[in-house]
């Protein structure tokens, strides 16, 4: 069987698949040529990350397609229900990137707290004494309250890190439940109980930091808009490593300029791969190019899990 890993696959994942008798193609195919390439090359499995989409029109145009795999958590770039209705298996790797995304967010929280994103830009050409004064009002994470909107695997992994540095965690999810969060300290694991809240508006005013971990909403609405910003504590810091659009970007700019939001970190954008220029250039925004799962370790886990799922589904060739 031929596999097109159109957004790439780790060397380990490719090695495992090839050892099982699969042909793995990693040459990037443009989105508009995807269906043509699948049909002409006899590809039966397409693997994607976030860049390539597999929509109804591709599924309809590729009768030989047997499986679509998403390396990562969210599958909003695949018409999952329609694919399954047409007999196409759809898989993903929800647990493989949780730690990597959580570590990126922790890095973002530290960066926002000490103005690192702006000081990196200005140190080379700025006046040292002036910059020292400009960045003299950093804050510490310890003792601050972090609101985690969406408490799935990534949110829980982030909670473990945040609790480990002494933050208080308020988890917000669709349903109320209590869960034990393991916090590793040296060679010991301490279990901390966290109970989720279901009313976001009731806790927004308590939060010093907010991190968002929800999928793109089916109706296209944003989770955070001007209405939510108005309820936040003045000076809140926000990170979004989930999906572009869950924060209304225009409302975010206004909240930053008004001082409601002290700083924001964005790893995802509405208009990827061409984000708004006013987001990229804003001194209070730390931007990264959708790299939440882009660690060597996470990509190895993703590749290995995809390979195991495919071999489990179709066997060795």
Residues labelled catalytic: 243, 272, 290
Question: Taking each helix axis from N to C terminus, what angle separates 153-164 and 98-113, rounded to the nearest 10 degrees?
Answer: 50
Q: For residue 164, what is the enclosing H or E element?
A: helix 153-164
Mode of pairing for the β-strands spanning 285-287 and 23-25: unpaired
Measured CA to CA in angstroms, residue 244 lies from 64, 67, 98, 120, 181 at distances of 32, 26, 18, 25, 27
Token pair, residue 271, equals: 């208009």
The CA-based angle 117-120-121, given to 5 degrees, is 90
Among the listed residues 227, 271, 225, the one whose alpha carbon sits nearest the alpha carbon of residue 250? 225
The CA-based angle 41-45-50, given to 5 degrees, is 110
Helix (H, G, I), strand (E, B) or coil at 147: strand
SS3 of 173-212: the string is CCCCCEEEEEEEECCEEEEEEEECECCHHHHHHHCCEEEE
Q: How far, in Å, CA of 18 to CA of 27, rounded?
A: 16
Q: For residue 170, what is the enclosing H or E element?
A: strand 168-172
Query: Residues with Cβ < 8 Å from 123, sequence gap 6 or more?
Result: 131
Is cis: bond before 297, omega within 30 of 0? no
């Amino acid at each position: 069987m031929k596999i097109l890993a159109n957004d790439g696959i780790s060397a380990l994942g490719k090695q495992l698949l090839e050892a099982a008798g699969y042909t793995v193609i990693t040459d990037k195919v443009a989105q508009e040529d995807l269906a043509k390439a699948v049909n002409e090359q006899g590809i039966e499995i397409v693997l994607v990350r976030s860049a390539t989409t597999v929509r109804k029109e591709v599924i309809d145009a590729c009768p030989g397609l047997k499986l679509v795999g998403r390396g990562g958590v969210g599958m909003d770039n695949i018409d999952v229900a329609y694919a399954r209705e047409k007999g196409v298996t759809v898989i993903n790797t929800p647990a493989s990137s949780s730690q990597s995304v959580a570590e990126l967010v922790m890095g973002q929280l530290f960066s926002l707290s000490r103005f690192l994103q702006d000081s990196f830009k200005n140190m080379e050409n700025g006046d040292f004494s002036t910059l020292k004064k400009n960045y003299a009002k950093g804050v510490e994470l310890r003792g601050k309250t972090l609101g985690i909107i969406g408490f799935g695997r990534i949110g829980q992994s982030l909670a473990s890190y945040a609790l480990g540095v002494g933050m208080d965690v308020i988890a917000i999810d669709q349903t109320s439940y209590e869960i034990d969060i393991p916090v590793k300290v040296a060679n010991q694991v301490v279990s901390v109980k966290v109970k989720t809240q279901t009313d976001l508006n009731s806790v927004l005013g308590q939060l010093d930091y907010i991190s968002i971990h929800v999928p793109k909403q089916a109706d296209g609405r944003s989770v955070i808009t001007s209405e939510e910003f108005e309820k936040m504590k003045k000076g809140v810091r926000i990170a979004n490593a989930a999906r572009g659009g869950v924060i209304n970007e225009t409302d975010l700019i206004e909240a930053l300029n008004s001082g409601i939001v002290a700083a924001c970190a964005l790893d995802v954008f509405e208009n990827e791969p061409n984000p708004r220029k006013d987001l990229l250039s804003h001194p209070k925004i730390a931007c990264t190019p959708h790299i939440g799962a882009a660690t060597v370790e996470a990509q190895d886990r993703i590749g290995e899990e995809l390979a195991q799922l495919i071999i489990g589904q179709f066997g060795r060739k």
